Amino acid sequence: MQHFKFIPLTMLIGSSLLLTACGGSSSDSKPNTTKVSFALADAPVDDAAEVWIAVDAIELVKEGEDNILLDVKDGDLEYAQLDLKQFQGGESKIILDETELVPGVYQNLILHVLDESVGDNFSYVTELDGDQISMKQPSQKLKLGGFEVSSQGVQRFTIHFDLRTALVQNQNGQRYNLKPHGVTIVDNETVASLSGMVDANLFNCIGDENEGNFVYLYPGHSLPVLVDNYDENTAQTDLPEGAVAPAGSTAVVLNGNDYSYAFGFIPEGDYTVAFTCSGLNDDEALYDGLLIPNPSMQMHEVVLSNAMDSVQDFEEILP
């Protein structure tokens, strides 16, 4: 006579779970990823007709892990090449669209730039007189610092070039260098914009034929001393105590019959914006002692938010 032993269903389920926990399943767990896009954009530069840059890869550095190398392509090309001056005032060019990345903090983003070492027609500057000057990028890499990838939806970043500070011509004028100073990584979900009109009656500097009209943007309110552009990694002389360096600067341009300025891709926050008519000879690396604001009362405190396009005009103050 056969004897049957009944095993409770709960014991069978428990055994199955135990096998799974001990590696009994053949499926490997994969880390959660999110989609991330990268674009390039430019703040206006006043002394070049074109600024071409070619990028063939983005390298990401994450602590404790191997570096991630993401190829950048444009159609049949094994790289993306663009004139940064075509992407100003809030416009941008996507160079890597919806790639999968693990959320977390990345310590560095490195742009791999094709410069004069691989050819003259990849990265170069076309000057206002039509001359084409090659661009040099040490080690063909532009190290831009860290950023954080969240786990929510598609995250879009813009690599924003302030060429007025990032683009430097060497002393003999035969080459341009692209420096990380003046290049930032911004999350499009937390960026703002600022623009406005500028009264032509403020253009009262003598001898510059209205070429020195610029607007400077500074982080914070109640700032003690506003100064012109300089590189904190370059030795400075006569820099005043309490000096606040600009987050960016842009030329005042003529649009139709009106003069205006615009900043795009600015991180949200409190800022001070100031006009000067004497900003023409602002050395990107050295403090020049330019008068900002000029006229003296032409500055405003603003609060910039991603939720709206902020406007701040500069108007003549009559006695």
pLDDT of residue 223: 96
- What's the confidence (pLDDT) of residue 280? 86
Instruction: Categorise residue 180: left if φ over 0, alpha if ψ from -120 to 50, beta otherwise.
Output: alpha
Q: Which two tokens stand for residue 286?
A: 């050295």
Cβ atoms of 147 and 185 within 8 Å: the answer is yes
Q: What's residue 231's pLDDT?
A: 87
> Per CATH, the architecture of 34-180 is what?
Sandwich (2.60)
Per-residue pLDDT of the chain (319 residues; tens, 9 = 90+): 444 333 444 443 444 443 344 444 444 567 789 999 999 999 877 778 999 999 999 999 999 999 999 999 999 999 999 999 999 878 899 999 999 999 999 999 999 999 988 888 899 999 999 999 999 888 889 999 999 999 888 899 999 999 888 888 886 778 898 888 889 999 999 999 999 999 999 998 866 566 789 999 999 999 999 999 998 878 777 899 999 999 999 999 998 999 999 999 999 999 999 999 999 889 888 899 999 999 999 999 999 999 889 999 999 998 7
Domain segments of the chain as ranges: 34-180, 193-311
pLDDT at 208: 57
Select from 208, 210, 239 the least CA-distant residue to 226: 239
This prediction's pTM: 0.82
Q: Which residues of 109-119 are buried (b: 16+ CB within 10 A; e: fewer)?
A: bbbbbbbbeee
